[in-house]
Copies of this chain bind each other. A is one copy, B any other.
Amino acid sequence: MTRFRLTIEYDGRPFVGWQRQANGTGVQQVLEDAVRAFTGEQVTVFGAGRTDAGVHSLGQVAHVDIEKPMRADQVMGALNHHVKPWPVSALRVEEVDEDFHARFSCRQRAYRYRIVNRRAPLTFDRGLAWRVGRPLDTEAMRAAARHLVGRHDFTTFRHVACQARSPVKTLDLLEVERIDDEVHVLAMARSFLHHQVRSMVGCLALVGIGKWRPEDMKAALDARDRRALGLNAPPDGLYFLWAKY
């Protein structure tokens, strides 16, 4: 048996999310079915981030155990052949020790959220970014973001169905960057609550358009109450970037 670490890119639009689910196709299932197709083995693929429906990945990390003797480059080729026609691609495949666990060994995760800040409707980026028509004040967004960095009770920014034991998380970084007509929010933490990035971005956008002051972000955080949430950003703009081990 060999354990392989997979770096996976996917366009989240056609999926119910990372996890295998009854109501549609999960990325996990596409990968598991692909491995079965070239090994005959019924495997479980573990991912670092269980992304929601419509959320994308540029560098999801996963692992899988394969009995059939195969080299990493063979696994990569076979995987990419058998995931077709789904928009999923193995960017890298490496042999790893058996103590490597994509989810539990992960020390830091990074997400990027893409806002396209323009009046014109999207063409290429439909489902791949959140369009905000009103001009975003990125300086105000940065000031608001600073209130969220650090160790806090993020109950306000947590989906009611979140299964994490504690709402207390340490947000290592929350950066707002403008690139032409796009505003990107970069978030890094050991782990995130369910919907945490989207909820933080939704409120940052409220600050950006001037509906909230930066201090309102602190008030929302301090409320520790989901009802204090201003806005949850759509999944369209969210990308799993990378996982550190």
Measured CB to CB, the residues of A under 8 A from B are 9-11, 56, 76, 80, 84, 87-91, 118-124, 126, 128
Contact = CB atoms under 8 A, between A and B. Distances in A.
B11 A89 contact: no
Given A87-B123, A89-B121, A124-B128, 19 more contacts: A9-B120, A9-B123, A9-B124, A10-B123, A11-B123, A11-B124, A56-B124, A76-B119, A76-B120, A80-B120, A80-B121, A84-B121, A87-B126, A88-B123, A89-B120, A89-B122, A90-B120, A91-B118, A91-B120
10 contacts: A9-B120, A10-B123, A11-B124, A56-B124, A76-B119, A76-B120, A80-B120, A88-B123, A89-B123, A91-B120
Contacts of A90: 120
A88 B124 CA distance: 9
A164 to B, nearest CB: 29
Contacts of A124: 9, 11, 56, 87, 128
Nearest to A92: B120
Contacts of A56: 124
A224 to B, nearest CB: 37
A87 B121 CA distance: 9
A202 B76 CA distance: 27
Nearest to A13: B124
Contacts of A122: 89
Contacts of A119: 76
Nearest to A56: B124
Contacts of A123: 9-11, 87-89
4 smallest beta-carbon distances between A and B, as pairs: A87-B123, A89-B120, A11-B123, A91-B120
A129 to B, nearest CB: 11
A26 to B, nearest CB: 16
